[in-house]
């Protein structure tokens, strides 16, 4: 039963995080946007962070210890650095994709974390412990144990299904990039060899490139397109073809304009 309650809390926190991200995107860009890794209205990284704070609150309550605001702030700020950096690194290694990038912010580390965001998460940690955790517990803890088990099972199944769809869509994107790269390279070879009709070759190359993007995007499912639009950029790394970075981001920009 305790595990079921924590699963429900995790999903509730993840939904709150998703809501915050969407509202932040609206305030920043003036339009609705989803930046979550998954399709559903959840941001697992927020759910994980808030659940950790809940567990620590429960542990402190068991030992009759109440941490001060400064302690909560420091733990949240430092903990967010490890959580954000680790999550970003893992996602980039697996999918070569970036969902957030702090490269334009001062005092950032590889664009994965920055002082500004860590300070914000520190403040958010204090707010979470003092307000969000008690609110969430008042919603979940009074529920009947059987209802909690049913809800947690439903949430877990939906979460796993969402995760499976997302991972499948993103892994298939590599094939789209490779096909696009091959087509682009063939066009460039044709461009170089056609020196006599260079201007016409350039025109044809641009048209062909546009058709290549359209054809590759057409092969993607709507789930795949939705998953790619939520990504900030792609990083295939120095050890891999730099053309892949270019081609992946060309398709990404094309999808975001549609």
Mean pLDDT of 47-55: 94
Angle at the Cα of 11 from the Cα atoms of 5 and 15, rounded to 5 degrees: 145
**What's the rounded mean pLDDT across residues 103-107?**
91
User: What whole-number distance in Å separates Cα of residue 79 and Cα of residue 216?
Assistant: 40
User: pLDDT tens across 156-209, in order?
Assistant: 999 999 999 888 877 776 666 655 555 555 555 555 555 444 555 555 555 555
Task: Report the DSSP beta bridge partners of residue 234.
Answer: 97
- Asked whether residue 257 carries a pLDDT value surpassing 90, the answer given is no
- Quick check: 27 pLDDT over 90? no
The per-residue pLDDT for 121 is: 95
Which of 204 and 17 is assigned the larger pLDDT?
A: 17
Distance CA 115, CA 122 (A): 10
pLDDT of residue 95: 83
- Specify the 3-state DSSP secondary structure of 97: strand
Average pLDDT along the chain: 80
Residues 237, 83: Cα–Cα separation, whole Å? 22
Measured CA to CA, the distance from residue 134 to residue 155 in angstroms comes to 21
What pLDDT is attached to residue 196? 44
Both tokens of residue 106? 């001062």
According to the model, what pLDDT value does residue 153 have?
95
Task: Give residue 228's pLDDT.
Answer: 72
Highest mean pLDDT among 120-124, 172-176, 182-186, 244-248: 120-124
Q: Quote the percentage of the chain above a pLDDT of 90.
A: 45
Place of tokens 């699963």: 7
CA 30/CA 27 separation, integer angstroms: 6
C-alpha Rg value of the chain to the nearest Å: 23
Comparing 61 with 240, the larger pLDDT belongs to: 61
């Amino acid at each position: 039963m305790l595990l079921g309650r924590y699963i429900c809390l995790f999903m509730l926190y993840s939904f709150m995080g998703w809501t915050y991200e969407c509202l932040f995107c609206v305030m920043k860009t003036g339009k609705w946007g989803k930046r979550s890794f998954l399709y559903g209205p959840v941001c697992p990284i927020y759910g994980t962070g808030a659940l950790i704070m809940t567990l620590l609150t429960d542990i402190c309550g068991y030992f009759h210890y109440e941490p001060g605001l400064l302690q909560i702030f420091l733990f949240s700020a430092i903990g967010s650095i490890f959580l954000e950096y680790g999550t970003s690194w893992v996602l980039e290694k697996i999918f070569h994709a970036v969902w957030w990038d702090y490269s334009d912010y001062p005092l950032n580390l590889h664009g994965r974390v920055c002082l500004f965001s860590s300070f914000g998460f520190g403040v958010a940690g204090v707010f979470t412990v003092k307000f969000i955790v008690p609110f969430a517990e008042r919603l979940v803890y009074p529920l009947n144990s059987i209802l909690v088990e049913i809800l947690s099972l439903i949430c877990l199944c939906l979460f796993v299904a969402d995760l499976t769809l997302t991972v499948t869509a993103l892994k298939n994107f590599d094939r789209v990039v490779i096909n696009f790269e091959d087509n682009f390279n063939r066009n460039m070879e044709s461009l170089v060899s056609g020196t006599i009709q260079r201007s016409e070759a350039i025109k044809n190359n641009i048209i062909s490139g546009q058709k290549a993007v359209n054809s590759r995007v057409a092969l993607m499912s709507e789930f795949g397109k939705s998953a790619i639009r939520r990504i900030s950029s792609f990083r295939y790394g120095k050890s891999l073809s730099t053309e892949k970075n270019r081609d992946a981001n060309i398709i990404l920009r094309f999808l975001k304009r549609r």
